[in-house]
Chain A
Amino acid sequence: MHRQLASELAPRDGRRGLVISASKELEPGVRAMLVLAEGLFRIDVVVRGDSLQTVVRNLTAGPVQMWDVGQSEEVGSIVLGEAAALGPGRAHMGFVIGSGDDRLMVKVTLATLRFEQRGTFRISAQAVLRVQPLSRPPGKED
């Protein structure tokens, strides 16, 4: 059973937003759906060796364009208490999905913990979606 929390964010500059939070504990090599935005996209994850593979499935008729979040954003990592023994990891990605007035910008932060005794990994994610305007509002041009 897939469980996630999805909540609407307060509009920013008139643009609606959504935040999706999800977490699963997986054995290495097992592919599972981590995040689902109905009718928009889903993100599958699989742990392969020391890497986390992510697969973005486009559920719209429009294109998906990945953007390099790393160039514009830094995701910091803070490790507290006994968490260091769990080898916490993090990754982030972003993409634009859909076309026309329905284009969305999506920013996803992923985090991992390794449970050596159980032979599993916990993969968690927070995805933030914002509607992207096609053009700037009248009077806002440079």
Chain B
Amino acid sequence: MKISDANNDFLKIDGTAADSGELGGLTPDAFFQGSGNVVSGAVTASATAGQLLSLPGGIIVVSVLLLPGNNQVNLQIQNNTGVLLSAVQDRGSGVTQATLDPTTPRTITLQSPELTLQSPELTLQSPELTMQIFPNQPAFPDVVTLIVSSDGGASPMVVAQAFTDGV
């Protein structure tokens, strides 16, 4: 048997099978770029803007401001990547497209918390905002999910978690 034929037919001792681990011979890293982060933030909203979250490197910063009079909370999302980012958001009333302009912070007013009684033992409170922010290669290679909720009231605590993941 020729060496070239043997190399085609048999796996070398230090080789990797093309279907090893059912991953087509590639490691999971080959399918997803970089590693992820979860950023958790909470702040009691007040008439002075307070930082709720900041993604690593400060590339996206979310601040909270309590509007006087009606206890509404404004979120301000600052895109510091230097490039325009597209996004979608759901505030409980349907999904809408959004953009995050690096020159202008995006302001979103939170709606009142939606309580849904599913069954006697299960109460679900929807987040006021779920937002997906999409990559804009190469400046911003991640997909980001931002989930924000608040407990309402005169001094609402606003809580958020953000997921970043290379795709």
Contact = CB atoms under 8 A, between A and B. Distances in A.
A78 B37 contact: yes
B38 A88 contact: yes
Interface residues of A, number: 61
Interface in B1-28: 18, 21-25, 27-28
B88 A76 contact: no
Contacts of B51: 80-81
Given A27-B123, A113-B159, A132 B24 contact: yes
Interface in B116-167: 116, 118, 121-127, 130-132, 134-135, 143, 145, 147, 149, 151, 157, 159, 161, 163, 165, 167
A40 interface: no
B134 A9 contact: yes
Contacts of B23: 67, 96, 105, 132
B39 interface: yes
Contacts of B132: 5, 7, 19, 21
B161 A88 contact: yes
Interface string B28-40: 1101100111111
A3 B85 CA distance: 24
Contacts of A22: 130
Contacts of B95: 5
28 contacts: A3-B90, A3-B92, A4-B130, A15-B31, A21-B130, A21-B132, A25-B124, A26-B122, A67-B23, A72-B28, A74-B35, A75-B37, A75-B38, A80-B39, A80-B40, A81-B42, A83-B42, A88-B40, A105-B28, A105-B31, A107-B165, A109-B36, A122-B127, A122-B149, A122-B161, A128-B167, A132-B24, A136-B18
Interface string A12-30: 1001010101111111001
- The 6 closest A-B CB pairs, nearest first, are A126-B163, A88-B40, A21-B145, A80-B41, A82-B42, A83-B42
Contacts of B67: none
Given A19-B167, A82-B44, A130-B32, A7 B134 contact: yes
Interface residues of B, number: 56
A55 interface: no
Contacts of A73: 28-29, 32, 35-36
A121 to B, nearest CB: 11
